[in-house]
Structure 1
Amino acid sequence: MQMHDMAALLLAGLAGGALGGFFFGGLWWTVRQAMSPGLAPGRAALWQLGSLLLRMGVTLLGFHAIGAGHWERLAACLAGFTVARCVATRMTRTTSRQAGRRAPAPGESSHAPQP
């Protein structure tokens, strides 16, 4: 494998990470916006649908452009996207889950002993 090929794979992986950051960052932002108290319930569904279409469209076009018929670049892009997913999952955990406790569901009592 030549140095040029390695650089292309590295750039494809970084681009996949950027696409993952855009996708999962946009998902996090959309969920927070949809849960805001000032947003009407019908608007929340429109926000989520519009965000899904935008995020999926940009991500698929990005994968298509980065892969450009080379499965190695596509695999590197997917690896970067997956790393971004792991980072986003770790960054958006709630503090109660980080402490090893399950957050109580809405309407669930939190004073009962945990098994």
Structure 2
Amino acid sequence: MNETLLLLTLLAAVAGVLIGMIFFGGLWWTVNKGMTSRYAAFWFTGSLILRVGVALAGFYCIGHNNWQMMLACLLGFVIARVVVMRLTGPRLQHPASSSTEVHHAP
């Protein structure tokens, strides 16, 4: 019985990662589209409703009134946030490899 619970908890975490990828990947896509659109308010509002609806439905289906499954799903969701932030975040340059321009007053 413990093996089954462990497997279900692991599957809940994987499902949480997928839900988080959809949520945060959709947020990234919406910001990119919305910044150049004439109808940015519709993009952001529609995306918010869709993303929250998918996330809530996913958590509801995965949770099954079991706090361990819900917690595992939430952990996967947070892991997905970190992964999407790293994949879509700005590329930082190492200070030594930057240009020779001086950024301070003489």
Q: TM-score, normalised by structure 2?
A: 0.87
> Which of 58, 62, 65 is equivalent to 2:58?
62
Shift in alpha-carbon separation, 1:52–1:100, aligned structure 2, 3 A? farther
Percent identity between the two aligned chains: 43
> 5+ unaligned residues in a row in structure 2: which ranges?
96-100
Distance of 2:41 and 2:104 partners within structure 1: 35
> 5+ unaligned residues in a row in structure 1: which ranges?
102-110
What are the equivalent positions in structure 2 for 1:1-115 lying under 5 Å apart? 2-36=2-36, 39-40=37-38, 43-95=39-91, 98-99=92-93, 113=103
Higher helix share: 2
Shift in alpha-carbon separation, 1:114–1:94, aligned structure 2, 3 A? farther
Distance of 1:54 and 1:76 partners within structure 2: 23
Paired residues in the alignment total 100
Output the aligned Cα RMSD: 1.9
Instruction: Give the 4+ runs in structure 1 shifted more than 4 A.
Output: none
